[in-house]
Amino acid sequence: MRCGGVALLLAAVALTTRCERRDVLELGDADFDYLAAEHETMLVMFYAPWCGHCKKLSPDFAKAASWLKGSVQLAKVDCTANADTCRGFGASAYPLLKVFRNGVDSGTYDGPRTAEGMVHYMKKQTGPDSVLLRTEEDLQAFINNYDASIVGFFQPDSAGLPEYLKAAALLREQFRFAHSSDPSLGQPYSLQQQGVLLFRPPRLSSRFEEDSVLYKDHVTVASLRRFIRDNLYGLCPHLTLENKDRLRVRDLLTVYYDLDYRLNPTGSKYWRNRVLKVVSRYSSRGLSFAVANKNDFLSELEEDFGLGMSEGAELPLVTIQTRLGHKYTMREEFTRDGSSLERFLDDYFSGLLKRYIKSQSIPENNNSPVKVVVAESFEDVVNQPDKDVLLQFFSPRCPHCKKLSPVYIELAQQLYLDPNIIIAEMDATANDVPLGYDVQGFPTIYFAPAGKKDQPIRYEGTRELKDFVKFLKRESRRPLVLNGVREEL
């Protein structure tokens, strides 16, 4: 029985996987044009079988296809076997995802690459750019949504309606739009004649701010976009993996807890209201606020803020991250009356908080030719005003870094007796990378010149000893001392 049960389970899993794969349409040079034209909205993945990123995306893509079945078609094109089609749509790096409407290329897909994210994004691609609302019931059904809603109220001959619909067509991938020719539907929300109302999601309703915001100015695409951007999230929005980049363009305080409006709406609202009660008194001081599901950001909380899940497991965790990359954590336990959060904010605005810096320990012995830099010692080593510093950001697991190591050590040895230059390295996986240094891959090498520490120069040359020396001779304002011999300028 036990073996039979396992066999049945494995068969069911295999059947589900095959069904998900069948939900993804396979297109090629011979049939792309006429099959794509049969679908009102379609998401196409251009891929190569050898592509690691494609293999990683494939299960989520298949799952999204299954969830979207009947509303949005998902398809894929093997570019190693269908070069003409892929070339025609500019597929040269994989995977490339594009949205098609009735077979016409509508643009590159730039949404999330998780199954849930693709479903959420593609559902916004279906139907009209702006939904026509005729009755109060239509309006209530539209705004009673998990996401925010934008509704325009215009007379049929209004000059503002065409511009509003143009904005809806351009912004539909980001926001939900509807319109009505009956302005009386907007009267309960302070609309007198014509205008646009932004309705925040009902799940974020609170007594600390209005549920809707009225836009009464002349409608243009630019002004409407600005209005939505400034009012969409309200005082304390729900930070997610999908919107985090948009919310983090400002200095942001985030409260993390067991937030789930679908499975735990009561607890989610309870803690958010505790937060709102406090932060509403600080809303005009240049700091933005958000709440987030702690489980969505576990690795970030631990790696970037040093907050393990054993700390206040049942209580919210609080962080601040500024646009400059400065980070702060609330170490005091979150109190239900909000007093600890209030003290944390008062200390932040008074400049009394100590920044959190992810850093290895400063080495006790740092006399080798290649100096070890950690985040805590960066200022003292790299930003010495009278020293030129060549700094390599590396990862211990990076094979290119390991290959560079003997060359980098030899460079440091040749310059060891030069009193004006430091050859250094920093493990960028274990230390915060300072502002001004863009590290996306490894190794990344920068030169921090004496007297110009705010203008580091990225090294773009080959990783050969002679090329490093040539670069340093060019960038350093003083002659190098190579193997104890001072070079001539």
Q: Which residues are catalytic?
A: 51, 54, 398, 401
**Gyration radius of the chain's alpha carbons:** 28
Q: Cβ(369)–Cβ(409) under 8 Å?
A: yes
| Cα dihedral 262, 266, 272, 276 sign | positive
Residue 138 one-letter amino acid: D
Instruction: State the Cα–Cα distance between residues 263 and 265, nearest whole angstrom.
Output: 6
Instruction: State the Cα–Cα distance between residues 235 and 220, nearest whole angstrom.
Output: 25
Q: Which residues of 369-389 are buried (b: 16+ CB within 10 A; e: fewer)?
A: bbbbbbbebbeebbeeeebbb
Q: Which residues of 45-79 are buried (b: 16+ CB within 10 A; e: fewer)?
A: bbbbeebeebeebbebbbbbbbbbeeebbbbbbbb
* 66 Cβ contact list (under 8 Å, min separation 6): 19, 20, 23
CA contacts within 13 A on the Cβ side of 269: 14
Q: DSSP states of 133-169 as a string?
A: --SHHHHHHHHSSSS-EEEEE--TT-THHHHHHHHHH
Instruction: State the Cα–Cα distance between residues 84 and 98, nearest whole angstrom.
Output: 16
Q: What is the DSSP letter of 387?
A: -
Q: Cβ(154)–Cβ(179) under 8 Å?
A: yes
Count of Cβ atoms closer than 10 Å to residue 457 Cβ: 15
Instruction: State the Cα–Cα distance between residues 233 and 148, nearest whole angstrom.
Output: 8
Q: Cβ(9)–Cβ(63) under 8 Å?
A: no
Q: Is 293 helix (H, G, I), strand (E, B) or coil?
A: strand
